[in-house]
Amino acid sequence: MKRVAITGLGAVSPAGLDVAGTWDAVVAGRSAIRPVQIDHDERMSCPIAAQVLDFTPEDHFAAKQLVALDRNSQFAVVAAREALAHSGLDPQSPQVRGAAAIVGVGAGGFLTLDAAFHKLYAEGGKRVHPFTVPRQMCSAAPSQVSMQLGLQGIAYGVTSACASGTHAVGQAFHLVRSGISTVAFAGGTEACITQGAIMAWEALRVLSSDTCRPFSKNRSGLVLGEGSAMLVLEDWDHAVARGATIHAEVLGFGANSDAGDLTSPDEENIALAMTLAIRDANLTPDKIGYVNAHGTGTAMNDAVESAAIRAVFEGAPPPVSSTKGVLGHSLGATGAMEALLSALALREQVIPPSANCDQPDADLGIDMVAEGARAAPFDAAMSNSFAFGGLNAVLVLGRA
């Protein structure tokens, strides 16, 4: 089994259109949750979202390309381009040409579908755009990443709701560790902030009306976000041989299913997923120095995840924080974004804060890093994702 290095990082987020801007905002606890900027009417009661602003598609794509690209795929391609440039890999090398592209997607091309349905049902149109299907399908993002970057290895989409990005990175980790792929592009993407999508989440009664406050006593729900994060995973020996900068190492991946309730998380199985990841990394819980939590900001999810963390770490967990107070919950992209941020936390030896946690909930029994970013020496970090349907995925990363 091969060691797996992270050599490239790319991001498009509500806090910044690249990795540097995103990381700066997360470390500062500078929230990108704002009044929603979409066309909507009085039926939509949630006034906020974490949107990617100032993103101009024409700056990144030719007009002929945009015809076939939903915003969901646009984000993924731009993040993948940054990750490739960041990695220092030769785009024409056999390793890049044969690279895998595994992308987690929660909702797919939601804006394309929303526009098609509006044209049919609201405007009485007789037909929709001829590229509606290839733009909205959940495999559009990995397809576009592979085409735009010339990646001819295995490529597919992963759809496991809010765990999609973490599952995608985990699958790519397996490909590189097993020797099937020397290089893999892995991540997640999402762009589904429309009135219809927000109202669907409103119906679940899990949205906050003011902001996301993970692990705070006054937490009132999650906030929808959007964006993309892409990581370049590479055979460690190959990365060392070419003199690459290695930002972190993927050590382990654990995943399971609650096989229980569709929307309520299960503490025992969440704890098991974390334990599986730690075992896969050949570590013990005491070696984990930071947990980037799923941390949605809902009363139930934060309580269940905290209880599971306490169980895994036998009542003495390391610092735990959620970055959703800055970036919102970007569904299929969120796990990949949090894996990227965990890699940066290891590289910089800085634990990001739980932004907006102004009333730390002592009953949760965790150190939620509410006071701001914290410099701390640590060698391994865990990144958690727990999705509707009881689909759990956990990554363990190590300091390079």
Residue 24: per-residue pLDDT: 98
The residue with tokens 């595994």 is 102
Q: How confident is the model over 355-379, as pLDDT tens digits? A: 999 999 999 999 999 999 999 999 9
**Chain centroid to CA 211:** 19
Interval 324-339: pLDDT, tens: 999 999 999 999 999 9
Print burial letters for 279-294: b (CB count within 10 Å at least 16), e (below 16): ebbebebebbbbbbbb
Residue 202 sits in the same domain as residue 110 = yes
Angle between helices 71-87 and 110-117 (to 10 degrees): 160
What are the pLDDT digits (tens) for 29-46?
999 999 999 999 999 999
Residue 247 domain flag: no
What does each C-alpha distance from 276 to 176, 272, 283, 394 come to in angstroms? 19, 6, 10, 8
Residue 382 located in a structural domain: yes
Q: Which of 162, 192, 212, 357 is catalytic?
A: 162
Amino acid at 151: L
Query: Does the active-site annotation cover 46?
Result: no
40 catalytic residue (yes or no) = no
195 and 282 share a domain?
A: no
181: left (phi over 0), alpha (psi -120 to 50) or beta: beta
The H-assigned helical ranges of the chain are 19-28, 63-66, 71-87, 94-97, 110-117, 132-136, 140-149, 164-177, 195-203, 236-241, 267-280, 299-312, 324-327, 334-348
Within its chain, how far is the Cα of 18 from the centroid? 14
The CATH number of residue 10's host domain is 3.40.47.10
Instruction: Mark which of 193, 212, 241 sits at the end of a domain.
Output: 241
Q: What is the mean pLDDT of residues 276-287?
A: 98
Shared-domain flag, residues 51 and 159: yes
Active-site hit among 60, 167, 247, 329: 329
State whether 261 and 235 are in the same domain: no
In a domain, 131, yes or no: yes
- Overall number of domains in the chain: 2
Q: pLDDT band at 250, cuts 50/70/90? A: very high
- Do 48 and 135 lie in one domain? The reply is yes
Neighbours of 37 (CB within 10 A): 10
Helix (DSSP H) and strand (DSSP E) numbers for the chain: 14, 14
Query: Domain end: 241, 261, 292, which one?
Result: 241
For residue 304, is it within any domain?
yes
294 is catalytic: yes
Distance in Å from the first CA to the final CA of the chain: 18
Burial 39-48 (b: 16+ CB within 10 A, else e): ebeeebebeb
Indicate whether 92 and 202 sit together in one domain. yes
Of 222, 241, 260, the residue that ends a domain is: 241
In a domain? residue 301: yes
Report yes or no on 112 lying in a domain. yes
Distance, in Å, from the CA atom of 241 to the CA atom of 177, rounded to the nearest integer, reads: 17
Asked whether residue 46 falls in the same domain as residue 161, the answer is yes
Q: Mark whether 153 and 179 lie in a shared domain.
A: yes
Angle at which helices 267-280 and 299-312 pack, to 10 degrees?
Answer: 50
Give the span between the Cα atoms of 193 and 69, in whole angstroms: 16
| Average of per-residue pLDDT values in the chain | 97
374: domain range? 252-399
Q: In what order do the strands lie in the sheet with 183-190?
A: 155-158, 100-105, 183-190, 227-235, 4-12, 248-257, 391-399, 380-387, 290-292, 320-321
Does 166 lie in the same domain as 74?
yes
* Contact present, 327 and 294 (Cβ < 8 Å): no
Confidence of residue 140 (pLDDT cuts 50, 70, 90): very high
The answer to whether 188 and 26 have CB atoms below 8 angstroms apart is: no
Within a domain: residue 246? no
Asked whether residue 182 falls in the same domain as residue 263, the answer is no
Residue 227: closest CA among 132, 323, 332, 115: 332
Same domain, 122 and 27: yes
Q: What is the pTM of this model?
A: 0.98
If we measure between CA atoms, which residue out of 342, 365, 141 comes closest to residue 249?
Answer: 342
Alpha carbon 325 to its chain's center: 14
Task: Find the catalytic residue in 86, 138, 294, 357.
Answer: 294
Q: Is residue 354 part of a domain?
A: yes
Question: How confident is the model at residue 337, as a pLDDT?
Answer: 98
Would you tell me the crossing angle of helices 195-203 and 110-117 to the nearest 10 degrees?
100
Q: Same domain, yes or no, for 388 and 273?
A: yes
Q: What is the pLDDT of residues 211-247, one digit of tens each?
A: 999 999 999 999 999 999 999 999 999 999 999 999 9
